[in-house]
Structure 1
Amino acid sequence: MEALATAPAPSRPGPPPPTRCSHLRRPKALATSKLPRRVIAALHMDGPRAAPLRCTPAETDAVATTSDQTETAAAVEATELGNNGAPAPAADAPAASIEGLDGIKIRRRPVTGPSVHHVGPFQFRLENEGNTPRNILEKIVWNKDVEIWQMKEKMPLYRLKGPLDNAPPARDFVAALKASYDRTALPALIAEVKKGSPSRGVLRENFEPVEIAQAYEKNGAACLSVLTDSKFFQGSFDYLEAIRNAGVKCPLLCKEFIIDAWQLYYARSKGADAVLLIAAILPDRDISYMLKICKILGMAALVEVHDEREIDRVIGIAGIQLIGINNRNLETFEVDISNTKKLLEGERGQLIAQKDIIVVGESGLFTPDHVSFVQDAGVKAILVGESLIKQEDPGKAIAGLFGKDISPVSSAV
C-alpha cells in the first residue's frame, strides 16, 4: 500500500545568515539522496503550491532519513555559527558544575581560561578552585577546548565538509569486528598505535606508526586505533593520515577526546572510519547528536563507559552499536579488569545482548587469561595498546596476547 506524504511546512527561523558560511544554509542531504526527482521536487515546495505526493513505503523511509540528515546538518551549521547565537560565557566564569550535565564527570570552562589581571606593568591569571582542573581527565578536556578553538579558526567547518563529498566511503568498522569474531571465535582485536600516555610516559622510543599498523594487520588485528592527542598521549592526526595513505585496509578508529562536532568532520577528513565518544565527558544529548553526524559521515562510534551510571545512560541512547568498557578509571588512571564483568552482570548484560550491541573490553589486558576473562563476561572485541606496543615486535605480540596465532593466514590453513 502506498503511503501519503506531504511537503514539510517551513521550519522556524534559524540563526541569522552567515557571511563566510552562506553555502551551508541549504544542506546537501536532498541533493545527494537517492530519492526520485519527483519526491525531491515536492519536498522543496511549501505553501499553497505543496501538493500531496504518493510515495512507496521505501520512499517514505528515505524521506524520513533525509529529513533527519537535514536537521542534523542544520544543527552542525548552527554550532559553527556560535551555539545558536547564544553569547559566549565570560572569561572569568567558573567552570560548569556536574549537576545538570547528564551525569558527566568533568566541568567545562571558557576556552580563554582565567581572566587576566593587571597590576602596574605586570599581568597575571588568578587561579582558584573554580578554574583549576581537579583531575587529569578534566585537565585534558580543558586543554582540548583551547586546542579545538584554535584549530577551528584555521580550518572552519565549511572547508572540511567540501572535500568529504567526494571522499571514498568509510570502511565498515562494525562489520570488521563481527567478521573477525566469527573467524576466530575470540574477541576481535582493535590494536592500538600508541606512543605514550600520561600515566606511563613514552611506551615506545622507536615509534614508526605505519610499520606498527602494518604489523598489526598482518598478524590478525580486525581494526586499528590511532591516538591523535598530541599533548598528553604524544599522538598525531598525521599518524592517522599516514596509516590510511600507506594502504592499510583495516578500519581505523580515531582515538581522541571528542567534545565538539567539528572534530568528527576533521577525523573523517584524516581517514578515520570510526571515532571514540567518552560518556564521562559528553552529555547524552551530545552523544545522540554526534551519533547522527557519524551516521551521515559513514563512521562508527565506540561509546566508552567506566561505571554503572555511564553504561545505563548509554544503553538508553538510540543508535548505539558499540560500547567500550574501560577498565581504567580516567580520573585516577587506576586499572581493574573485573570492572568489565561487574558492568555486564545480570539484566544489563542481557539487555545489551538483546540490542545486538558489541561490547569492547579496554585497558589492563595483557595475557590469554585476561582475554578469556572478559570474553566470558560478554565481550566480543578488545582494544589493546600498551601490552603490544611495548614488545620488540608488536605484531607478533598479538599471538602472545591470545595464546595462539590469529592471523588470517593461520585461520585459512
Structure 2
Amino acid sequence: MTTILDTIIEKKREEVQRLKKENLLQQSEEKIRPSLYEKLKSAKTLQVISEIKRASPSKGIINNGVDPVKQALLYEKAGAACISVLTDTPFFKGTFEDLKNVTDAVQIPVLCKDFIIDEIQIDYAKFHGASVILLIVAALSKEKLASLYQYATSKNLDVLVEVHDDKELQTALEIDAKIIGINNRDLKTFQVDLQHTATIAKKFPFQEERVLISESGMKTVEDAKFVAACGVSAILVGETLMRSNDVETTLTALQVPKGVVAL
C-alpha cells in the first residue's frame, strides 16, 4: 500500500531533478547563528522550536495567509530556540523564498524543514540561510542517511535526525546523530500519539552528548510537561502556534522546566 510518505518522496524526486538543473548564484556572506545543539544542551527549561506551516496533508490549510517574517519575529521575540520553516510546496505550501525571508529577518537558528533525499537540497537550504536541516530516517536508506548527515555537517549545519521507533533510534545513534527528534506523528498514517516520545525516550542514551526533541501533537502545557518528564530538551510546535491569537503567551507557556532523567 502506498503511504503518504511514499507519495511525498516520489514528488520530492521530481523536485530534486529540477533543482539540479538550476544554478545557485554566488552565496552572499553567511550570517553567523548560535548552535541549536549548544542551546538545547545548556537550557534549563524546555525549549520551543517554532514552526511556520501554512498547511499539511493531515490538517489541510492551517494558516494560508501567514506572513512568514512577521510570524518569525513573533517567535524570536517570545524566546523560541529555533524557527522551523517548511520549504515543501506541494504538500505544505512552503517555499525556499519563505526560508530566505525568515533567515534574513532573525538572528536565532533556523531549520529547513523538508523531506531531504539529496545533497542538492542541503545546498539549497544552506544557500537560503538555514543553519539546521532535517533528515528523516524513515525516508532514507541507512547509507544515504549517513552520507547526507556527513555532507550537512561538513557544511557546518546542525542536523535534526527524526525517528519514529526504537529501530530508527538505533540507526540515528549509529550515524552518531547529536540532535534526535521523535516524531509523534506516524508518517505512514499521520496519526499522532505523544506516547511515542515516552516509549522511545526509555531507550535514549541521555548520558551521552546528545539531545532529544519531541515533535508533533503539542497542544497544551500538559503536553509539554508530559514530554519534558520524558527527558526531552525541546519540542517542535507548528499548528498550535500557527492557530494562536497570542503567539507570545502560547509559546512562553510551553517553556516548562526540563525533566530530570535518572541515568
Q: Fold-level match, TM-score > 0.5?
A: yes
Q: For 2:224, which of 331, 355, 371 is the aligned residue? A: 371
Confirm whether residue 266 of structure 1 aligns to residue 124 of structure 2: yes
When normalised by structure 1's length, the TM-score is 0.60
What whole-Å deviation, never above 9, does each CA across 1:384-410 have from its counterpart, x for those lacking one?
A: 111111112323321343479xxxxxx
Percent of aligned pairs with the same amino acid:
37
What whole-Å deviation, never above 9, does each CA across 1:219-270 have from its counterpart, x for those lacking one?
A: 1111110010011001111111001112x11100000000001111110000
What whole-Å deviation, never above 9, does each CA across 1:135-163 have from its counterpart, x for those lacking one?
A: 110000000000110121123xxx46x53
Contact 2:19–2:120 under 8 Å retained in 1: no
Structure 1 stretches of 5 or more lacking a match?
1-132, 405-413
Equivalent position amino acid for 1:341 in 2 = A
Equivalent position amino acid for 2:85 in 1 = V
| SS of residue matched to 1:191 | strand
Distance in 2 between residues matched to 1:359 and 1:399, nearest whole Å? 20
Contact 1:274–1:299 under 8 Å retained in 2: yes
What whole-Å deviation, never above 9, does each CA across 1:292-326 have from its counterpart, x for those lacking one?
A: 222221110000000111112111223x1100000
Distance in 2 between residues matched to 1:215 and 1:168, nearest whole Å? 20
Report the equivalent of 1:356. 209
Confirm whether residue 150 of structure 1 aligns to residue 18 of structure 2: yes
Contact 1:169–1:298 under 8 Å retained in 2: no
Contact 1:137–1:330 under 8 Å retained in 2: yes
Which structure has the larger Rg?
1
Equivalent position amino acid for 1:386 in 2 = E
Closer, same or farther: CA 170–398 of 1 in aligned 2, 3 Å: closer
Contact 1:322–1:358 under 8 Å retained in 2: yes
Report the equivalent of 1:285. 143
Q: For 2:197, which of 318, 336, 340 is the aligned residue? A: 340
Contact 1:170–1:298 under 8 Å retained in 2: no
Q: For 1:232, which of 62, 83, 91 is the aligned residue? A: 91
Report the equivalent of 2:251. 398
Contact 2:87–2:94 under 8 Å retained in 1: yes
Distance in 2 between residues matched to 1:170 and 1:258, nearest whole Å? 22
Distance in 1 between residues matched to 2:121 and 2:33, nearest whole Å? 16
What whole-Å deviation, never above 9, does each CA across 1:6-39 have from its counterpart, x for those lacking one?
A: xxxxxxxxxxxxxxxxxxxxxxxxxxxxxxxxxx
Deviation at 1:355, TM superposition (A): 2.0
Report the equivalent of 1:220. 79
Distance in 1 between residues matched to 2:254 and 2:208, nearest whole Å? 29
Distance in 2 between residues matched to 1:190 and 1:177, nearest whole Å? 10
When normalised by structure 2's length, the TM-score is 0.92
Distance in 2 between residues matched to 1:396 and 1:212, nearest whole Å? 14
| SS of residue matched to 2:206 | helix
Distance in 2 between residues matched to 1:282 and 1:379, nearest whole Å? 24
Deviation at 1:204, TM superposition (A): 1.2
Distance in 2 between residues matched to 1:325 and 1:148, nearest whole Å? 26
Deviation at 1:171, TM superposition (A): 3.9
Distance in 2 between residues matched to 1:396 and 1:298, nearest whole Å? 33
Closer, same or farther: CA 403–354 of 1 in aligned 2, 3 Å: closer
Report the equivalent of 2:261. none
Say what the alpha-carbon RMSD is for the aligned residues: 1.8
Equivalent position amino acid for 1:163 in 2 = Q
Structure 2 stretches of 5 or more lacking a match?
258-263
Contact 1:366–1:401 under 8 Å retained in 2: no
What whole-Å deviation, never above 9, does each CA across 1:100-149 have from its counterpart, x for those lacking one?
A: xxxxxxxxxxxxxxxxxxxxxxxxxxxxxxxxx70110000000000110
Distance in 1 between residues matched to 2:98 and 2:247, nearest whole Å? 17
Distance in 1 between residues matched to 2:55 and 2:175, nearest whole Å? 32
Equivalent position amino acid for 1:328 in 2 = R
The number of equivalent residue pairs is 257
Equivalent position amino acid for 2:129 in 1 = G
Contact 1:362–1:384 under 8 Å retained in 2: yes
Contact 1:388–1:395 under 8 Å retained in 2: no
Report the equivalent of 1:297. 155
Distance in 1 between residues matched to 2:31 and 2:62, nearest whole Å? 33
| SS of residue matched to 1:332 | coil
Report the equivalent of 1:309. 167
Deviation at 1:361, TM superposition (A): 0.3
Q: With a CA cutoff of 8 Å and minimum separation of 6, indicate the structure with the bigger relative contact order.
A: 2
Describe how 1:14-53 pairs up with structure 2 within 5 A. Answer: none
Closer, same or farther: CA 281–205 of 1 in aligned 2, 3 Å: closer
